[in-house]
């Protein structure tokens, strides 16, 4: 049975208090690194690194390519200095626990430690015939290809209801486009669909998604974006096209290939993320 999306405020506060006992660092911008993209964290001048396994109530990360570390610090380059950062090196997926509570826990924790802006990344399967493996896509819209609706969140009095689901911040999207242009990194734009996993979609499912206008598909991100929006965070979403979806490519899809693509485009992805993070101000 799918669990309700009702998180106890005490659990979030307990986790927050644990972090504050280890560091008084106050991040304002969070970055969630998807499958194969964790190496960007090597660029961070870390003030504190906390394994997620040590944080009370924090969900278990079990998928390869998700290291499970919270990194607090700054990104510095020449005379430029980023906002105070919180880097999530990996995430938990719905199929790992069957609980949306676990999926959105890091977002609620981010809110409690003071995050105002969120960059969320993922590895996704490309559906758009114009996409190639290794492309980077700005998420302009989302589709929930799941058997249930995301209900109203409740955690004390933290969350409010927004009627229009315009999840992404226009200013942050425009900034990403500018950064891609400045670094001469091609940037695709499109609609991302969330499927619950853990199996990859069938060719028939991919054809259905293609017909309704989906450009890329993956097993994360939408619940996190939904929650961040409800919390009032300014958010931008980015997909790495790590493989072509079933039926689009004749090659059998594997998690190993997704990891390999992340490794291959690390330099390009890191250059774009570095430019974006340094360009964002309070």
pLDDT in tens, the chain (282 residues): 334 444 567 899 999 999 999 999 999 999 999 876 778 888 999 999 999 999 999 988 765 544 689 999 999 988 899 999 999 987 888 877 778 888 899 999 999 999 999 999 998 999 999 999 889 999 999 998 665 555 445 554 444 444 455 789 999 999 999 999 999 999 999 999 998 877 778 889 889 999 999 999 998 899 999 889 988 999 999 999 988 876 565 555 554 555 565 566 778 888 999 999 999 985
- Six token digits for residue 242: 């790590």
Q: Which of 69, 91, 72, 125 is nearest to 227 (CA)?
A: 91
Residue 132: HSE in the Cβ half-sphere, 13 Å Cα cutoff: 4
Q: Could you tell me if 139 and 221 are in contact, meaning their C-beta atoms sit under 8 angstroms apart?
A: yes
CATH class of 9-279: alpha beta
pLDDT of residue 177: 97
pLDDT of residue 157: 44
Q: Which of 267, 266, 268, 276 is nearest to 235 (CA)?
A: 276
pLDDT of residue 40: 86
Q: Could you tell me if 192 and 239 are in contact, meaning their C-beta atoms sit under 8 angstroms apart?
A: yes
Tell me the residue length of the chain: 282
Which residue reads 């965070």 in tokens?
A: 233
Q: What span, in angstroms and rounded, lies between the C-alpha atoms of 234 and 116?
A: 6
Q: What is the pTM of this model?
A: 0.86
pLDDT of residue 172: 96
* Buried/exposed code over 98-117 (b: 16+ C-beta within 10 A; e: otherwise): ebbbbbbbbbbbbbbbebbb
> What kind and span of H or E run contains 147?
none
Q: What span, in angstroms and rounded, lies between the C-alpha atoms of 276 and 58?
A: 28
pLDDT of residue 263: 62
């Amino acid at each position: 049975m799918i669990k309700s999306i009702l998180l106890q405020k005490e659990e979030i506060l307990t986790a927050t208090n644990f972090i504050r006992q280890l560091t008084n660092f106050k991040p304002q911008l969070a970055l969630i690194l998807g499958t194969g993209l964790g190496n960007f964290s090597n660029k961070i001048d870390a003030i504190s690194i906390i394994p997620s396994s040590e944080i009370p109530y924090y969900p278990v990360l079990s998928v390869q390519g998700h290291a499970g570390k919270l990194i607090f610090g700054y990104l510095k380059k020449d005379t430029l200095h980023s906002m105070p950062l919180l880097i999530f090196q990996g995430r938990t997926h719905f199929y790992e626990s069957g609980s949306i509570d676990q999926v959105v826990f890091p977002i609620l924790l981010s809110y409690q430690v003071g995050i105002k802006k969120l960059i969320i990344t993922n590895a996704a399967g490309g559906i758009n015939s114009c996409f190639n493996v290794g492309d980077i896509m700005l998420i302009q819209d989302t589709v929930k290809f799941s058997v249930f609706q995301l209900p109203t969140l409740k955690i004390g009095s933290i969350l409010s209801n927004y009627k229009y689901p315009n999840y992404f911040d226009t200013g942050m999207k425009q900034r990403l486009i500018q950064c891609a242009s400045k670094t001469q990194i091609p940037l695709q734009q499109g609609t991302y669909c969330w499927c619950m996993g853990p199996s990859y979609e069938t060719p028939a499912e991919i054809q259905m998604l293609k017909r309704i206008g989906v450009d890329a598909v993956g097993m994360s991100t939408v619940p996190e974006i939904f929650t961040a929006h409800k919390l009032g965070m300014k958010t931008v979403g980015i997909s790495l096209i790590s493989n072509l979806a079933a039926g689009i490519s004749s090659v059998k899809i594997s998690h190993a290939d997704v990891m390999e693509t992340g490794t291959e485009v690390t330099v390009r992805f890191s250059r774009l993320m570095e430019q974006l993070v340094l360009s964002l101000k309070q």
